[in-house]
Structures are given as C-alpha cells and as structure tokens.
Structure 1
Amino acid sequence: MVRKYPERITARMTRIIGQDEVFLIRQNTKIKFGSSEAIIGTVFMTNPGSFDFKHTKGWADFKSGKGHSNVLEAEDYADLTTQNLIEVIREGYKHANLGYPDGIVQIFNISNVVQSKGEDVENSHKKVTILIEESDDHELSLIQELVTNNEQKFLEACMSSKFIIMGFVDNVFSENVSALINWSHVISHRLIVAIDKKKRFSHPRRWRTERYLKEFAISEMCRILKNSNH
C-alpha cells in the first residue's frame, strides 16, 4: 500500500513516572523530506499532541511505564497535525514550481509535555514541572526549550530556515505565544501563519476541518518560497 504521507517523523521521548501517571516528554522532533539532512524549515507550536511510535517495538510498554529505559528515540509516520504540515509544505513547493522538498523541518513547542487535549496542556505541564523540581534526574530544560523562551535562540533557529510556520492552541501559554509573535516580526519575510477570523495564529491541527486556513497557509508557503528564490 502506498502511503499518502510516507515522510518519516523522528523524535526522542522521555518518560517521567509519577505516583499514578506516566508523563511523556517529546523533543528533537523532525519531519524528514527526501534524503538531505539540511534544515529547510522550522515550526513553532504549543505542545506535542497525538504523534507517537505506534509502529515501534516496545512502544506500548514504554508509554505504560514498563521496562528500565526512560528514553526512546525512534521514527514513525505522521499524526494529523504533522500530516497537515506535510501537505502545506508539499503543496507550497509544488505551487512555487520547486518540486518536492528535500531536507529537515524541525518542530519546537512551548512545552514538550505530550498532551492531546488542549484544555489540559498547562495542567500537565505544571504536574511535570513539580516532578522535575522534586527530582535530581532531570532539568526543566527537558520540558522548556530555550528556543521558545529566549529571543536570541529563537532568532538563531529561524535564520537557518527558508520558512517558519507558527500556530498555537487558543488561550494556552498566552504570555509565551505573545512573546513568540513579537519576536517573529524580525523574520516576517519567512513567516507562514494561517490567521483565523478572530486574528489568531491557527494551530495546524485545525487545517484539516477548516479548509480556508490550510489553503491560506499553502498560498503563504508558495509566496515565501518564491521570494526566497529570487
């Protein structure tokens, strides 16, 4: 069977086991297009959602807290959000007459704590923060990337990319989102956002059901790629 989204997603998962819950932290998430290892794009979002390693041996045990290792690095296929990103990137390249993208798109989140329910993101982040502060095994940098908390690191990450995509869950980490939006003014010539009817930077997960947002993101991708090749 030919997959509609054959692009591989790589990431590192770390688990922290609380008293009655296993928390997953996802870092180093990358979408791999073609064979090049060069960074071609960067994505900023709220937190990791439903992507996991369901085709990886031992994943079920890992996420349930079984086994000795608390870190798992692997690759798998895209979930809904990354599928939407892949489609926008592919279509943008196609519309700009640049063929198929070749390189790595890196994904950064305001919080690295995995939580698919947007309304529970901040609560899960607080729980993991407490567990880390009470432990000697981890640093807070595990769940908070410097690149989303430091303007200079943010700009350094953006400068290595042809395009930057930003989209966030509504009313979550609002101060962090405001900071990222303010910092992004410097790289506005590379920035791709799908602004909804309430003037918000829509999260890519919405692009499947709200087609006008995806179509706008594709047109912006095309425009920026064309400008970057002049």
Structure 2
Amino acid sequence: MNKTREILFIAGTDTEVGKTFITQALINALLHCEEQVVGLKPVASGAELEAGEWRNEDGLKIHELSKKSPGFEQISYSDINPLCFEPAIAPHIAAQEAGVELSIAELNRLLKFPDSEHLLVEGAGGWLTPLNDTETYADWVEQKRMDVILVIGMKLGCLNHAMLTVRDIERRGLKLRGWVANFVFGDMNRSEQNLDWLKKNISAPCLGVVSKQEGADYEKASELLDLKALL
C-alpha cells in the first residue's frame, strides 16, 4: 500500500535555471532510497511532434525517469505533460496561439495526480509565470496547497530573485521545504559569500549545491542532495 501521498512543486527563480535537471536528480535520489516517485510537468512549450502528439524535451526526461518507479512502468507521456505546445515561448502565449485555454481550471481538469508516495511537479519558467491574463502558476500551487522546492540559478542578481520568490511563497502561506543552489551558468564571482548569505536569509534548508560540471550528470548531482527534509 502506498504511503500518504506528498506533492512537491519544483519552482525556479527564473527560466533556464535547471528545474528539470534538479527534478531529475531528486527523482533519482528518491528512487535510490527505494521510494516510489513520479515527476510531472503539467505545462511545457517548445516541442516536437512524436507518435502523433507534441512532446517536450524536458517532459520526456521526466517521463523516462518516472517509468523507473515501481508500478508506473506504463505511465503515458500525456499523464506527465498534458499541456504541451510547439513554439518555445511563454506558455500562455503559446496556448493562445494554439487556441487552447490555459487556466487553473484546465490544469485541474487535465492533470491527474498519480497515487504515488512522492509527486514532484515541475513548473514552467519562474514562480509567477502567467497562465493567462489573470492567473499565474503560483496561484495554482496556492490553490493546491503544495509544498515548494526552489531551484536558485546562481548568477549575479540571484539574491534578489531568490528573496522575492521566497517572500511570495511565504505570503501565500505555503511551506518552502528546501532550496537547491544550481550553478547552471558556471562559476559565480564570490560564490561562497553569496551562498552564505542565502543560507542565513532563507529559513528553509539548503538541499544541495550543484556546480556546472556536476550539472552535466543528474545521477552525480543526485548524490549531492540531502533528502532528510523530504523523507
């Protein structure tokens, strides 16, 4: 029998900060702890037509790993990524161009949460990415009362981006379970001082620090993650 289901939302301080990579690393780490885990990417833009449906590169990565979880070997791509659009642009614009409604109601209608011990739901872009003219991804996370893991893209300006995101998460009454410092852009000037400041100013635990070199291998990155806050 499955344990009580836990749903964690993987947010980013910006687009292209490595949310998918960290989601892969988290799934891999949980699988190695013999935990049942499925990753979801509800909305994705930037896709190619494959087997008669639009499929996104990041969605495919999460799909392949999720199929390694016991009981989910046959999970379909559309179960992982039900809203997928061809152009690599902001999802709400891609949806408009495709004539598709992108909204909280549509997310709730199309996305079925699998009955897994752990569900990792990867967002799109940054924390406040729009779904439409009035709703954001964060509004949906708030409605679902998901706990959050924040991926911080370590670069100049990341302290501001991180704290703006953290404060909005807290303002909504959501729990930040932890954060990952991802050096996806390479070395950062005064990296240790920046990391030290984040650790002092974010009350949630740092789950790991991933260098650009380690960012080439999610299995190696998964070994750097501290899962005590998640297990």
TM-score using structure 1 length: 0.38
Normalising by structure 2, we get a TM-score of 0.38
